[in-house]
């Protein structure tokens, strides 16, 4: 999971981590970091042909993010439920995007969409020594 640059800029790190911990998920790794264009391209390679790709890369590299590994029962799908729909205008109240975002690009959080993509995204952002 990741808190995107808008979430860090707006001071929402504590609020978002609080929600993950309150749900019962466990933090296995967490770091504040800058994503460069190369890493952004790898992260969002599935979207490279989408019309919003350029805007997405510009946004995700626009400031520090908080990259996290969270563990727990059904963690990938639970995190997606806590995040809410991709478009914050359609995300249910009570979800992170439903409560804390309105813009479609600047939607506060990223979450892996399957255990397989979680595994490859964890490798993209963390060394094995960084996982507790």
Residue numbers 61-120 binding Mg ion by CB under 5 A: 113
Catalytic status, residue 43: no
Does position 78 interact with ligand IDP (CB under 6 A)? The reply is no
Among residues 113 and 130, whose Cβ is nearest to Mg ion? 113
Among 76, 66, 79, 55, which residue's Cα sits nearest to residue 32?
Answer: 66
Of the ranges 22-30, 34-42, 69-77, 104-112, which one interacts with ligand IDP (CB under 6 A)? Answer: 104-112
Q: Which residues pair with 45 in a beta bridge?
A: none
Tell the burial category of 12 from Cβ atoms under 10 Å away from its Cβ (0-12, 13-18, 19+): buried
Beta carbon of residue 19, minimum distance to ligand IDP (angstroms, whole number): 16
Beta carbon of residue 132, minimum distance to Mg ion (angstroms, whole number): 26
Among residues 21 and 55, whose Cβ is nearest to ligand IDP? 55
b (16+ CB within 10 A) / e for 78-107: bbbebbbeeebeebeeebbbbbbbeeeebb
**Distance separating alpha carbons of residues 56 and 59, to the nearest angstrom:** 5
The position carrying tokens 């504040």 is 32
Residue 104 binding target from ligand IDP, Mg ion, none, CB below 5 to 8 Å by type: ligand IDP
Q: Which chain residues interact with ligand IDP by CB under 6 A?
A: 47, 52, 56, 86, 104-105, 107, 110, 113
Q: Which chain residues interact with Mg ion by CB under 5 A?
A: 113
User: Where in the sequence numbering do the catalytic residues fall?
Assistant: 110
């Amino acid at each position: 999971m990741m808190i995107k640059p808008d979430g860090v800029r707006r001071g929402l790190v504590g609020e978002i981590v609080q929600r993950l911990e309150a749900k019962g998920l466990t933090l296995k790794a967490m770091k504040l970091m800058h994503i460069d264009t190369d890493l952004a391209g790898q992260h969002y390679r599935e979207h490279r042909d989408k019309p919003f790709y350029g805007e997405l890369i510009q946004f995700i590299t626009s400031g520090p993010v908080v990259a996290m590994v969270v563990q727990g029962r059904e963690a990938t799908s639970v995190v997606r439920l806590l995040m809410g729909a991709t478009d914050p205008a359609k995300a249910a109240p009570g979800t992170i995007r439903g409560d804390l975002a309105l813009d479609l690009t600047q939607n506060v959080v990223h979450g892996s969409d399957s255990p397989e993509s979680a595994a490859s995204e964890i490798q993209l952002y963390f060394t094995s020594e960084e996982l507790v």
